[in-house]
Amino acid sequence: MTTEAPIRVEDKLFQNRYLVDVGNAHIKVKPHTKPSPALLALLKVCPAHCYELNSNGQVEVTPDGCVECGTCRVIAEGNGDIEWNYPRGGYGVLFKFG
Amino acid sequence: MIEERFDAIVVGAGMAGNAAALTMAKRGMKVLQIERGEYPGSKNVQGAILYADMLEKLIPNFREDAPLERHLVEQRFWMMDERSHTGLHYRSDDFNEEKPNRYTIIRAQFDKWFSSQVQEAGAIVLCETTVKELVKDAYGKVIGVITDREGGEVHADVVVLAEGVNGLLGTKADLRERPSPDNVALAVKEMHFLPRETIEARFNLKGDEGVVIEAAGTISRGMTGMGFLYANKESVSIGIGCLVADFQKTGETPYDLLDRFKKHPSIAPLIEGSEVKEYAGHLIPEGGYKAIPQLFGDGWVVVGDAAQLNNALHREGSNLAMTSGRIAGEAIFQVKSRKDPMTKDNLALYKKMLDDSFVIKDLKKYKDMPDLMHIQSQNFFLTYPQLINKALQNFVRVDGTPKVEKEKVTIKSFVSARSWGGLFGDAFRFARAWR
């Protein structure tokens, strides 16, 4: 069986244009000790891989590479796991082609 | 607060918002359109196919200067298993007509052009501005919006919510629910650049002819979903989308899914040697007729993706968006012309006009299709594609086996996978949902 190098989303996102609103994350994860199933799902489903586990096993978000699709909102905003807003006007992903 | 008062505020500059703003501005209404992107189009993602008929109703001579890619002369539907695809192709020289019916487009470029038409018609377009919430009066009527600009409250007689699939404002203002994971698909897409001649040779195209490939099968790994590949002038848009609920259930990752699709032996040669210049992700409304929320209320209407108006089976969304935006603009103008207030009762005219259009008629026709596809995703997206590809291979491979025995093998493979009852049941359910 051949093993392939895992897809690096960072390489894909590198092609994109962003204007990051430093210090104003538009998505926030509610502080928690043990992540809910919805939060854990975000580790995989987020197409920009913005969600990661920290060393304490909690889910963290770094929305710098966010493509603003809203998938995490649909999954995890309803039960209060995350807080989701659009970036401030002009900030965030700037699609060249869309 | 901005003192100036508008006849209408349109939130969002996508297909639906631009259609609404243009329709109202052309009729002399005072329109403010607010867009959070750097320019109209910079936040918008689509495959993308443009349907000429719906744009002609807004801009009859759009072909003169709109940034169009290729007009479509061929549609390929592929049913895929791991190494094969069974295709149904339709190609016709009839599509090489004076006024072609469908075009591939690149949204960021197209939307910028569309917006220039809106501005020419007299609407004020304010970019780099995010609307944070709706303003309601003491009776709950929407009277304006609050933006993230300083003193950014603006008032208008009516607010057209063309805010896209997420519909954040509508949810915050309790006008509708947040989309559920069962009713939206997540699609990821890449832009692959290749020399024009290479694209034309690989896809059998001349001049500005274009082709669409839509693919379903094992590529979605049992999830409800589809892959697509659209030929542009000097690029190929390639992507794949599946229901968010299915992603959640299976733990599949969207980028791995896209990369496996790109490596499929039927796809890989088409994009070989290309340069990838963008990666995008976007939600697509998939709930159909049953997922359409309340479309109007006191001081507001909702149009396009925010109203979940998307025909998942026919892969049509932007034309439903454009049409709902246009109809909303026409309805609002009628109410205003009669000097009536923008109340829920008066704005019901929008819903009535939309019901009479292809938008709601088409969605109604397929109202049971989303449920069938979602519940039976394993059968429709995994089992049947595998069986059909195996059957076709059995049919075309010449190996000395008598044809009678070959047929028996194929029939047996179907019956053992789904049973006679299952096969007839699936055929019946599919026919009923199509009807």
Q: Tokens representing B44?
A: 């918008």
According to DSSP, the β-strands at B71-80 and B209-217 are: parallel
Chain B positions in Cβ-Cβ contact with residue A63 (cut-off 8 Å): none
B283 has pLDDT over 70: yes
When pLDDT is cut at 50, 70 and 90, the band that residue A1 belongs to is: very low
| Cross-chain Cβ contact B281/A67 below 8 Å | yes
- What is the average pLDDT score of chain B? 96
| Least CB–CB distance from A98: residue in B106, B147, B276 | B106
pLDDT of residue A5: 65
pLDDT > 90 fraction of chain B, expressed in percent and rounded:
91
Contacts of B238 (CB under 8 A, 6+ apart): B189, B190, B192, B227, B228, B229, B230, B258, B261, B262, B267, B271
B6-57 pLDDT tens trace: 999 999 999 999 999 999 999 999 999 999 999 999 999 999 999 999 999 9
B226-268 pLDDT, tens digit per residue, is 999 999 999 999 999 999 999 999 999 999 999 999 999 999 9
pLDDT tier at A4, thresholds 50, 70, 90: low
B154-167 mean pLDDT: 98
B190 contact residues in A (CB cutoff 8 A): 12
User: Nearest-CA residue of chain B relative to A41?
Assistant: B248
Query: Which whole number is the average pLDDT over B110-126?
Result: 98
Question: In terms of CA atoms, which chain B residue is nearest residue A98?
Answer: B45
Contact B248 A67 (CB under 8 A): no
Q: What is the pLDDT of residues A11-62, one digit of tens each?
A: 999 999 999 999 999 999 999 999 999 999 999 999 999 999 999 999 999 9
Do the Cβ atoms of B130 and A98 come within 8 Å?
Answer: no
| Banded model confidence at residue A7, pLDDT cuts 50, 70, 90 | confident
CB contact under 8 A, A86 and B191: no
Q: How far is CA B41 from the centre of its chain?
A: 15
pLDDT at B133 over 60: yes
Of A71, A86, A96, the CB nearest to B36: A86
Please check the confidence at residue B281 and state whether its pLDDT lies above 90. yes
Q: Which residue has the tokens 């896809």?
A: B203
Interface test with B, best of A49, A74, A91, A93 (most B CBs within 10 A): A74
**Distance between CA A64 and CA A68 in Å, rounded?**
10
- Full-prediction pTM beyond 0.90? yes
pLDDT class of B374 with cuts at 50, 70, 90: confident
Instruction: Evaluate whether B58 touches B145 at the Cβ level (below 8 Å).
Output: no
Of B310, B109, B313, B89, which is closest to residue B212 (Cα–Cα)?
A: B89
Q: Is B247 on the interface with A (CB under 8 A)?
A: yes
